[in-house]
Chain A
Amino acid sequence: MRSNLRRLAQRARVRAERRLPALTRLRQPEPLPIELGRRRIYIVPTAFGLGFGVLLLVMLVGALNYANNAALLLTCMLGAATAASMLLAFRTLDGLSLRGIRAGHAVAGEPLELVLDFAAQRPRESVRLDCAGESLAFAVQGTTELRLRLATTRRGWLALPRFKLWSTWPLGLFRAWSWLHPQQSVLVWPRPEAAGPPPVLPGDARECLRPQAGEELAALRDYRRGDAPRHIAWKASARHHDLLVKDFDRPEPRETWRLEWDALRTLDREARIARLARWLGDAEAQGRRYSLQLPNERIDIGSGPAHYARCMSALAVLP
């Protein structure tokens, strides 16, 4: 019964929105910043608000019936306060603006963290955001960052969905709401395959092999404070007026991976992308230097998070 009624109300609301946004330009995505104004904030009483209205009516009839002016005055006051609470619900959203959206990185199938920057001149309380089944409540004072997790399914550019911004502040009697549809897309990285062979490297990669850390004695040098005693070359030191220390090669990255799109001819497109994504991840995890050759782009050797993000993004936007 209750859920039926709710579904009915939902349908009525959706239909009303379909008619009304002719005024409000809500269907199209908009560029940031989006500032909420009166032309795009809707208000309807909540179910509780309707019930409260009926109660007010009962109180009104009772006070009139008993010619009880004190009760009548207070009923009028409560009614007027209800009307004022509608204006306050409107004011909670009015002037609120979405300044910017920052997206984190996520691979397809995992939630993507979005940071929404809201700003308002007046402090707001109890603003709520609904987005794809997720609901958040927050207060805005000056500027507020709102962290939101957006579900993703596939790699590539993902257009942001419509967010519903709503509030029933202050008494829960009226619901004011507005839609935010930012014209912004976020990039979802491809999902790496779970397991597979290591990269087969082209022949010229071999020459980049370098000595591993600690394998080969390079030289002797003067002792410096902090050197481990076991590194002291006692024999050599005996012939010298100072302590000498065995100097080892600095740890070097292991072999450089040159990852190439064309080397994976046997796989289909998405599988190639998934494998390259896994290799990129492995290389980053092992601290290797790597480059990526794609059909339309070549990313030179490098390492580090920025390099990794650049490579993954290049994979994500492959047609």
Chain B
Amino acid sequence: MTKSAATPLDPRSFDLVAFGLAAVLALHAPHLPWWLGVTLASILGLRWWQRRRQRARTPAWLKLPLLAALLLSIVSWYGNLFGQAPGAALAVGLLVLKLLETETARDARVGMSFACFTLMAALLFDQSLTATTTVALGLLPPLAALRSLEPGRRAPPALWRELLPGLGLLAAALPLALLAFLLLPRLNSPLWGAPNTGEQRTGLSDRMTPAGFTQLLVDDSPALRVSFDGPPPPPDLRYFRAYVMGHYDGSSWTYRDAANQPPVPVEAAQTIRYHVSLEPTRQRVLPTLDVPLAAPPGASLRRDREVIADKPVDSLRDYTLESATRYRLEPQLGRHRARWLQLPAGFDPRTLALGRSWRARYGSDDAAIVQAALALFRDGGFRYTLAPAPLGRDAMDDFLFDTREGFCEHYSSAFTVLMRAAGIPARVVTGYQGGYWNALGGYLLVRNSDAHAWSEVWLAGRGWVRVDPTAAVRPQRISQGAAAAVPGQLPWYQSGWLQSMRNRWDIVNRWWNLGVNGFDALRQRGLLKPFGIRDADPSTLALLLAVACVLAMAAGLAWVWRRREPEDPARIALRQLERKLARQGVARQAGEGPRDYLQRAARMLPAQHDRLTELMHRYLELRYAHPEPTSESLRALQRAVRDFPVVRMVK
């Protein structure tokens, strides 16, 4: 043991160790700052090259400054060493530096087990099926490296074939792993800090500033998946509300919750039930189709019928809701009217003047003013683009009268300002619009690129009415989604057939999300109910887990203890003959040798006397005449037994 721990690594093992570290680095590269990734990769490459050329150790004067540099750069980049991102960066960095001093089997073992740990840490950033599979495959080089450390192997195979046994091992481990996964008691509350809530993540924000969405609009990752009770609503009604923004400060719209106020009344004419599974957003808002009637458990309904969860959505969240799709929302505005007419003083004079001029022209016909604004967007030479020109201090003036290009944010913002200037209560609503209907899976896939902003105006007698000014400029945005709205402006991976492939592939991701990522304590309890376990508390689960592990190990031991003795073909043939004879009523008795048995059978079955006698002679000859029977004579016996007819006796 001591000897083997100190033996220097052979080149193959070193290659596998370096390969394992490269896999870890590659998996973490997306979350590392690029300079760190590049530096670590070059350290890895240089060390590999150095060790290949000559078996020289890395000097200590090089190792210590590198370690210090790693710590310093991580602290200066992230601000601290702890937390998800800096911790992962630190782990990857230490792992790569470990290679510098990897000379013996012991070093390699330590490095490879730490590599397994670091691989798992990659899942903190992304839990999708693809990420999990990639990490599982990333386990193969460390496993292969550990195997290669064992002395006395047969000639080592090609590098890629070294990986296969690890795959087999993981595959064999899968049943037990699934059992453990199903039965491991889950924690009700985290033991220590949950993942960083302050982390930047693309998603809807409670503040809308022009150009703030563009990041979102090219982010193609799924945002939510919705399945409906009954048919899905048509594409132009797929509006998912998240934030209702009422306050404008001249540059940004903000969501301000009117605290401690009951939700405004809604008169629903038509409702729909649906089930949403929301990807983690690190935000508290739960998007809902149109106007929700009630909040799901663990969330509350705010005054303007936004659904706000009790805590940020850090993991996949499922909720079922009922919403009104035809409704009258807040028929009486009352004293809140002033809030929806708020405008900052001293901004956008030309826009305000335009709004006022419409009021003067159309009098009290609010609907005509709305139409006038939409006509302006439609016929006023406006262009839909994801990369609009920058706007100055009077953003809406610049947009409406100078640049005339923008996307949903600009249009909804300008429209709302115009309405308020004309004295019509109005507000901006952000959320998602559209989505891809996955017919095979029966659900609507809404991506982050489906993020959208529109307006609501309050009309007397009708309450809040949704108006989507973007649709006036670019109707395709509503009917076909963001990708169709700006052909040629989207990255290659969002276009054409690739997009439709991705949409189909999403069904697998949904199963993964439902089955694995969404498997929580609640689901665990539901799983055990059919087996008569009503309240699966942690101790019951632990007991079940122990039983399952013992059973699995017993199965493993049974497999291990089984010895496959090569069976004698002559004996197999005889057994087959015994079965045939037993069907005719001549069963072999315990303690009856083959000769006695077959002679008795021949006596009892006179019709087959000759055949049986011949079979007996053949068998006895095979058994006892030669030390090693020839394969032809064996085959002849097998054929004779197969052709032996079973004659039904009528007694």
Instruction: List residues of A whose CB falls within 8 A of some B CB.
Output: 6, 38, 46, 48, 51-52, 55, 58-81, 83-85, 87-88, 90-91, 94-95, 121, 123, 125-128, 135-139, 141, 167-172, 175
- Residue of B128, B147, B190 contacting most chain A CB atoms (<10 Å): B147
A6 / chain B contacts, CB cutoff of 8 Å = 1-2
- Tell me if B136 and A126 are in contact (CB < 8 A): no
Is B194 a contact partner of A66 (Cβ separation < 8 A)? yes
B486 within 8 A of A: no
User: Is there contact, CB below 8 Å, between A87 and B560?
Assistant: yes
A80 touches B123 (CB 8 A): no
Q: Output the least CB separation between A159 and chain B (Å).
A: 26
Is B117 engaged at the interface, CB distance under 8 Å to the other chain?
Answer: yes
With A6-B2, A72-B184, A125-B152 already in contact, the answer to whether A52 and B113 are too (CB < 8 A) is yes
Q: Is the CB of A55 within 8 A of B117?
A: yes
The reply to whether A83 and B136 form a contact with Cβ atoms under 8 Å apart is no
Q: Is B192 an interface residue (CB 8 A)?
A: yes
Given contacts A59-B117, A87-B556, contact A48 B109 (CB under 8 A): yes
A78 vs B149: C-alpha distance in the bound complex, in angstroms?
A: 19
Query: Which of B149, B180, B520 is the one whose CB lies under 8 Å from A76?
Result: B180
User: Are the C-beta atoms of B153 and A94 separated by less than 8 Å?
Assistant: no
A55 touches B116 (CB 8 A): yes
B174 at the interface (CB under 8 A from A): yes
Contact with B556, one of A83, A95, A168 (Cβ below 8 angstroms)? A83
Say yes or no: A51-B113 contact (C-beta < 8 A), given A69-B517, A70-B517: yes
- For this complex, 12 residue pairs linking A to B, each with C-beta atoms less than 8 Å apart, are A46-B1, A51-B113, A63-B120, A65-B192, A80-B174, A81-B143, A81-B170, A87-B557, A125-B150, A128-B152, A170-B146, A175-B1
Looking across the interface, which residue of chain A has its beta carbon closest to that of B120? A71
Interface: B303 (CB within 8 A): no
The answer to whether B460 has its CB under 8 Å from any CB of chain A is: no
Q: Is the pair B170, A168 in contact by a Cβ cutoff of 8 Å?
A: no
Structural contact, B181 and A72, CB atoms closer than 8 A: yes
With A67-B520, A71-B120, A139-B153 known to touch, is A84 a contact of B181 (CB < 8 Å)?
A: no
5 shortest interchain CB distances as A-B pairs: A137-B152, A80-B173, A137-B151, A80-B176, A77-B177
Query: Does B492 belong to the interface (CB within 8 Å)?
Result: no
Nearest CB of A to B109, in Å: 5
Q: Is the CB of A126 within 8 A of B184?
A: no
Closest residue on chain A to residue B3 by CB atoms: A135
Q: What's the least CB distance linking B509 to chain A, in Å?
A: 12
Write out the residue numbers on chain A whose beta carbons fall within 8 Å of the beta carbon of B124.
66, 68, 71
In the complex, residue of chain A having the shortest beta-carbon distance to the beta carbon of B169: A81
Whether B173 contacts A81 by the Cβ 8 Å rule is: yes
Among B116, B175, B519, B557, chain A packs the most CB atoms within 10 A around the CB of B116
C-alpha gap A52/B146 in the complex (Å)? 12
The closest CB in chain A to the CB of B108 belongs to A172
Q: CB-CB < 8 A to A137: which residues of B?
A: 150-152
Q: For residue A106, give the distance in angstroms from its CB to the closest CB of chain B.
A: 25
Enumerate chain B residues within 8 angstroms of A88, measured Cβ to Cβ.
Answer: 169
CB within 8 Å of A: which B140-190 residues:
143, 146-147, 149-154, 165, 169-170, 172-178, 180-181, 184, 186-187, 190
- Is B561 close to A, CB under 8 A? yes
| Complex contacts, A79 vs chain B, CB 8 Å | 173, 177, 180
Measured between C-beta atoms, what is the minimum distance from A12 to chain B in Å? 15
User: B interface vs A, CB < 8 Å?
Assistant: 1-3, 109, 113-114, 116-117, 119-121, 123-124, 127-128, 131-132, 135-136, 139, 143, 146-147, 149-154, 165, 169-170, 172-178, 180-181, 184, 186-187, 190-192, 194-195, 314-315, 516-520, 552-553, 556-557, 559-561, 563-564
User: Contacts A65-B190, A74-B136, A172-B146; is A126 near B153 (CB within 8 Å)?
Assistant: yes
Contacts A55-B117, A73-B181, A74-B135; A83 near B152 (Cβ below 8 A): no
Give A125 to B149 CA distance when docked, in angstroms.
Answer: 12
- CB contacts (< 8 Å) of A90 on chain B: these are 560
Give CA–CA (A224, B149) in the complex, Å. Answer: 66
- Contact indicator B516/A73 (Cβ below 8 Å): yes
User: Known contacts being A72-B181, A170-B169, is A83 close to B553, with CB within 8 Å?
Assistant: yes
Q: Give CA–CA (A67, B143) in the complex, Å.
A: 26
A170 (CB) vs chain B CBs: closest residue? B147
Enumerate chain B residues within 8 angstroms of A51, measured Cβ to Cβ: 113
CA distance A284 to B373 in the complex (A): 121
- Enumerate chain A residues within 8 angstroms of B194, measured Cβ to Cβ: 66
Interface contact B516-A70, CB-CB below 8 Å = yes
> Are A77 and B117 in contact (CB-based, < 8 A)?
no
Q: Are A126 and B187 in contact (CB under 8 A)?
A: no
CB-based contact A171/B127 at 8 Å = no
Which residues of chain B are within 8 angstroms of A62 by Cβ–Cβ distance? 120
- The answer to whether residues A64 and B174 also contact, given A58-B117, A80-B180, A125-B153 and a CB cut-off of 8 A, is no
Cross-chain contact B315 with A67 (CB below 8 angstroms): yes
> Is A69 a contact of B519 with CB atoms below 8 Å?
yes
Of chain A, the residue at the smallest CB distance from B116 is A78
Of the candidates B127, B154, B314, the one whose C-beta lies within 8 Å of that of A70 is B127
B residues in contact with A75, CB < 8 Å: 120
Say whether A70 contacts B170, CB under 8 Å: no
B184 close to A64 (CB less than 8 A): yes
Q: Are A68 and B153 in contact (CB under 8 A)?
A: no
Q: Would you call A64 and B151 a contact (CB within 8 A)?
A: no
Q: How far is B186's CA from A74's CA once the two chains are assembled, in angstroms?
A: 15
Known: A61-B191, A170-B165, A171-B146. A73 touches B152 (CB 8 A): no
**Separation of A172 and B635 alpha carbons in the complex (Å):** 46
Name the residue in B150, B174, B518 with the highest tally of chain A Cβ atoms < 10 Å from its Cβ.
B150
Inter-subunit contact B120/A59 (CB<8 Å): yes
Contact of A78 with B152 at beta-carbon distance under 8 Å, contacts A65-B191, A70-B132, A71-B124 already known? no
Nearest to A95 among chain B residues (CB) is B563
Report the minimal beta-carbon distance from B195 to chain A, rounded to whole angstroms.
6
Neighbouring A residues of B146 by C-beta, 8 Å: 170-172
A139 to B156, CA, bound (A): 12
Nearest-Cβ distance from residue B445 to partner chain A, whole angstroms: 20
Which residues of A sit under 8 angstroms from B127, Cβ to Cβ?
A: 68-71
CB–CB A170/B150 < 8 A = yes
Give chain A residues whose Cβ lies under 8 Å from the Cβ of B169: 81, 84-85, 88, 170
Query: How far is A193 from B463 in the complex, measured between Cα atoms in Å?
Result: 120
Interface centre among A67, A75, A88, A125 (most CB of B within 10 A): A67
CA distance in complex: A84, B116 (Å): 17
A138: chain B residues at CB < 8 Å are 152
B560 and A94 form a contact (CB under 8 A): yes
Q: Are B556 and A71 in contact (CB under 8 A)?
A: no
A167 CA / B152 CA spacing, docked (Å): 10
With both chains docked as a complex, state the minimum distance between the C-beta of A143 and any C-beta of chain B, in angstroms.
14
| Distance of B176 from chain A, by nearest CB (Å) | 4
A73 proximity list for chain B (CB < 8 A): 132, 177-178, 181, 516
Bound-complex Cα distance A58 to B516 (A): 21
- Excluding A77-B136, A169-B150, 19 further A-B contacts by CB distance (< 8 Å) are A6-B1, A48-B109, A55-B116, A59-B117, A67-B314, A68-B123, A71-B124, A73-B132, A73-B516, A74-B123, A74-B136, A76-B181, A78-B116, A79-B177, A80-B175, A83-B173, A87-B556, A139-B154, A169-B147
Q: Which residue of B lies closest to A137 (CB)?
A: B152
**A45 CB to nearest chain B CB (Å):** 13
A91 touches B113 (CB 8 A): no
Cα(A76)–Cα(B519), bound, Å: 15
Selected from B123, B184, B559, the residue in CB contact (under 8 A) with A87 is B559
Measured CB to CB, the closest approach of chain A to B407, in angstroms, equals 34
Q: Is the CB of B136 within 8 A of A168?
A: no
Q: Which residue of B lies closest to A171 (CB)?
A: B146
* Complex contacts, B553 vs chain A, CB 8 Å: 83
- How far is B29's CA from A259's CA once the two chains are assembled, in angstroms? 84
- Which residues of chain A have C-beta atoms less than 8 A from B177's C-beta? 73, 76-77, 79-81
Q: Is the CB of B120 within 8 A of A168?
A: no
Among B3, B121, B139, B517, contact of A78 (Cβ-Cβ < 8 Å): B139
CA distance A137 to B4 in the complex (A): 10
For the complex formed, measure the closest distance between the CB of B99 and the CB atoms of chain A, giving whole angstroms: 18
Report chain A residues within 8 Å CB of B172: 81, 84
